[in-house]
Amino acid sequence: MAHPQGELATSMAASQTNTLMICSTLSTTKLEDVAQASSINANLWFQLYVYRDRRITENLVSRAIASGYRALVLTVDAPMMGRRRADERNGFELPGHLKMENFDVELLARTFKGKEGASGFGEYVKNMFDLTLNWDDLRWLVEYSKIPVIVKGIVRGCDAIKALEAGARGIVVSNHGGRQIESTVSTIEALSEVVEAVNGRCPVFVDGGIRSGSDIFKCIALGADTVFIGRPIIYGLSVGGVEGVKHVIQILRTEFEYAMRLSGISSIYQLRTVPRMVVHQNYYSSSKL
Amino acid sequence: MSGGGGKGIESLKSYISVADFEARAIDLLPKAVRDYYQSGADDESTVARNKSAFRKYLIRPRVLVDVQNLDTKVKISFNPRESYTFEYPLGIAPTAFHRMAHPQGELATSMAASQTNTLMICSTLSTTKLEDVAQAASINAYLWFQLYVYRDRRITENLVSRAIASGYQALVLTVDAPMMGRRRADERNGFELPGHLKMENFDVELLARTFKGKEGASGFGEYVKNMFDLTLNWDDLRWLVEYSKIPVIVKGIVRGCDAIKALEAGARGIIVSNHGGRQIESTVSTIEALPEVVEAVNGRCSVFVDGGIRSGSDIFKCIALGADMVFIGRPIIYGLSVGGVEGVKHVIQILRTEFEYAMRLSGISSIHQLRTVPRMVVHQNYYSSSKL
């Protein structure tokens, strides 16, 4: 929807900059083709949901592994899709020439149809997603998958611990770009609690709201291992396809380097170990001042 | 002078939030009517704070919880023999003069409440007689009657007897209005009820004597000034509890100590409220005040809250912080203005749907879980304490 080359462009840009890319299940390009467009040593992870019909999930997992994806990213903050009012008003559905290429046509015809007052995408999702999704399903996926499973959509420390105990190998602190539960905590606020709960037992990632190198700096300083960006990539894609995405990545990397240098930090290790490189502003207004 | 006529069901489909109803109602209503409904006291900081304070409270969702089957029911018990079960923890707060919003006024509100099994608190300052409101409701409707204790006790006694006779199940005594707060827009407009409407719960002679618009003051204010009682105190509550055969709920408390006093005086429920920000200005928002009252009451009676609730996540937060049920005021007026019975039903349905979304997306499948899972909703300061 952003650019005619879609995920192929994103994948190429990622390969050319050696950037990890998490490919979405709801891709307008088949996961095999995305892998194909990447370089041979590209870092590709595959994001998925556990569907009501387990065979759909099994099919996606097998295909992802066969295509060389190195990890799965299970989204856990979407037992149902959040309410996006604009989508409802617009009766949003994928433009006619596009398809959710990871699924077969028959399935799509059955469930995806724009309706007045509700978004067509929402209807599709309502039928595919699983309101009963629980920790057993994560354990099942960890068991079934030969590649590591990372859990995306956690903001509570206790949930991070549960994910670890269920076999997850990484946590993405996320609130789905603010598209799911409304009025929840921001990911930068939630990050510290999860980092503390995980206590080094697995990598902790974060997404949501990162728009500059200093945002990345803050996330790493507060304990994240890697930061993911969502909308900025879409914007880069819209504006300039492969080059647009590469440019967005380069801007953020450059800004991040500036942030490091101008903060007297020369390594990620220092950034994560020098005390109080980043503090909440309340640090400056506590009662002793 | 009345608001928009009834809209068909089809055309309400494009209204997907309370904000949509509010925006349209503002368009439809004449200025003086709109000002009356929307106004807060003085600088209107409290009416704004009631809404904005919700943003300072954050939901901390749980993941991977089976949320297929939701239980949104709440049970309100006045005593071992008297309890009511509601499908959702959402009710209609008492607001005045519904016929200014829609020709059917309180009859429409009552019908919408009955058709959705929603508790309605009928206001004393109704443009429809309390008997007629009860008549328009279904036989097993939930109806409470809001009143003030007037300078002339006989007026109060008369209202109470009539309410009981008409099947109202509880009284709601407003205690935050010994006098009416100053609403500047009403004063500038010289607000008075449109000529074809009356405060139907009172006799005509009484009205003629006290209610008259004056330049520089609101006519309503003059009426109220003469009827209300500045000496109102805890003895009056005790008197009402004694006099009334049905439970008395106290509305307008924000202090924990006052909640305890109300309990000791025999109240069976507390509504944490600041009268929609229309009475004392620059006071605490109801969501901020709620935990203190919940803690003081300590389960000895039901705690309700109104003020600023505009979405399902607002309701979610109130319940998580200890309220048994939430009441909405202005959103019902907006629904009424835009679409009469269907408008009110639509507003209620929107809030219920949003509430269900909030529950499911937070990994909460019952009201019990919402109230017992630790820290489902926190003040944002939780995330900026000194250890960070």
User: Token pair 């994240």 is at which residue?
Assistant: A224
**For B9-55, what is each residue's pLDDT tens digit?**
568 989 999 999 999 999 999 999 999 999 999 999 999 999 999 99
Instruction: Using the predicted structure, report yes or no on whether residue A272 has a pLDDT greater than 50.
Output: yes
| In-domain check, residue B142 | yes
Residues flagged as binding site of B for FMN:
94-96, 123, 146, 174, 251, 273, 306-310, 329-330
Task: Please tell me the total count of domains within chain B.
Answer: 1
Name, in order, each residue with C-beta under 8 angstroms of B179's C-beta and a sequence gap of 6 or more.
B224, B225, B228, B230
Q: Enter the tokens of residue B92.
A: 């209609």
Instruction: Give the residue-averaged pLDDT of B268-292.
Output: 95
Question: How far apart are the CA of A23 and the nearest CA of chain B, in angstroms?
Answer: 22
Query: Scanning every residue of chain B, which has its alpha carbon at the shortest distance from the alpha carbon of A135?
Result: B64
| In-domain check, residue B388 | no
Percent of chain B with pLDDT over 90: 80
| Topology (CATH level 3) of domain A6-80+129-288 | TIM Barrel (3.20.20)
Q: Shortest CA distance to B311 belongs to which of A83, A81, A115?
A: A83
Instruction: Give the residue-averaged pLDDT of A266-274.
Output: 96
| In-domain check, residue B52 | yes
| In-domain check, residue B4 | no
Find the domain containing B266 and state its range. Answer: 10-378
Could A131 and B383 be called an inter-chain contact, meaning their C-beta atoms sit closer than 8 Å?
Answer: no
Instruction: Give the residue-averaged pLDDT of A38-64.
Output: 91
Question: How far apart are the CA of B358 and the nearest CA of chain A, in angstroms?
Answer: 6
pLDDT, residue A116, reads: 44
Pair B241, B274: CB distance under 8 Å = no
| In-domain check, residue B316 | yes
Instruction: Using the predicted structure, report yes or no on whether residue A181 has a pLDDT greater than 50.
Output: yes
Domain boundaries along the sequence of chain A: 6-80+129-288
User: Token pair 């304070």 is at which residue?
Assistant: B53
User: Which of B13, B61, B64 faces A133 most closely, judged by CB atoms?
Assistant: B64
Q: With bands split at pLDDT 50, 70 and 90, how would you rate the model's confidence at A41?
A: confident
DSSP A71: E
Q: How far apart are CA A217 and CA A219, in angstroms?
A: 6
Task: Please say if A176 is a catalytic residue.
Answer: yes
Query: Scanning every residue of chain B, which has its alpha carbon at the shortest distance from the alpha carbon of A221?
Result: B388
Could B16 and A85 be called an inter-chain contact, meaning their C-beta atoms sit closer than 8 Å?
Answer: yes
Name the pTM for this structure: 0.93
**For B143-156, what is each residue's pLDDT tens digit?**
999 998 888 888 89
Residues flagged as binding site of B:
36, 94-96, 123, 146, 148, 174, 183, 251, 273, 275, 278, 306-310, 329-330
Task: Tell me the chain B residues in contact with residue A133 when contact means C-beta distances shorter than 8 Å.
Answer: 64, 66
pLDDT, residue B209, reads: 53
Instruction: Using the predicted structure, report yes or no on whether residue A55 has a pLDDT greater than 90.
Output: no
Instruction: Using the predicted structure, report yes or no on whether residue B386 has a pLDDT greater than 60.
Output: no
Compute the CA torsion angle B366, B369, B371, B377 (nearest 10 deg): -100
Q: How far apart are CA B230 and CA B218, in angstroms?
A: 19
Instruction: Report which residue type is found at B78.
Output: F
Q: Pick A117 or B162 by higher pLDDT.
A: B162
Of these residues, A3, A97, A176, A280, which one is catalytic?
Answer: A176
pLDDT, residue A120, reads: 60
Rounded to 5°, angle at Cα A206 from A167 and A42: 75
| In-domain check, residue B121 | yes
**Mapped to the 3 state alphabet, what secondary structure does chain B carry?**
CCCCCCCCCHHHHHCCCHHHHHHHHHHHCCHHHHHHHHCCCCCCHHHHHHHHHHHHEEECCCCCCCCCCCECCEEEEEECCEEEEECCCEEECCCCCHHHCCCCHHHHHHHHHHHCCCCEEECCCCCCCHHHHHHHCCCCCCEEEEECCCCCHHHHHHHHHHHHHCCCCEEEEECCCCCCCCCHHHHHHCCCCCCCCCCCCCCHHHHHHHCCCECCECHHHHHHHHHCCCCCCHHHHHHHHHHCCCCEEEEEECCHHHHHHHHHCCCCEEEECCHHHCCCCCCCCHHHHHHHHHHHHCCCCEEEEECCCCCHHHHHHHHHCCCCEEEECHHHHHHHHHHHHHHHHHHHHHHHHHHHHHHHHCCCCEHHHHHHCCCCEEEHHHHHCCCC
Instruction: Give the residue-averaged pLDDT of B175-199.
Output: 90
Query: Scanning every residue of chain A, which has its alpha carbon at the shortest distance from the alpha carbon of B59?
Result: A184
Task: Tell me the chain A residues in contact with residue B66 when contact means C-beta distances shorter than 8 Å.
Answer: 131-134
Pair B377, B54: CB distance under 8 Å = no
Query: Scanning every residue of chain A, which has its alpha carbon at the shortest distance from the alpha carbon of B17?
Result: A85
Instruction: Using the predicted structure, report yes or no on whether residue B205 has a pLDDT greater than 90.
Output: no
Average pLDDT taken over every residue of chain B: 91
Q: With bands split at pLDDT 50, 70 and 90, how would you rate the model's confidence at A113?
A: low
Instruction: Give the residue-averaged pLDDT of B67-83.
Output: 93
Q: How far apart are CA B219 and CA B168, in angstroms?
A: 30
Put simply, whether B10 touches A (Cβ < 8 Å) is: no
Instruction: Report which residue type is found at B45.
Output: S
Instruction: Give the residue-averaged pLDDT of A190-204.
Output: 98
Query: Backbone dihedral region of A230: left (phi > 0), alpha (psi from -120 to 50 degrees) or beta?
Result: alpha
pLDDT, residue B26, reads: 96
pLDDT, residue A123, reads: 63
CATH code of the domain in which B23 resides: 3.20.20.70
Instruction: Give the residue-averaged pLDDT of B287-315.
Output: 97
pLDDT, residue A115, reads: 47
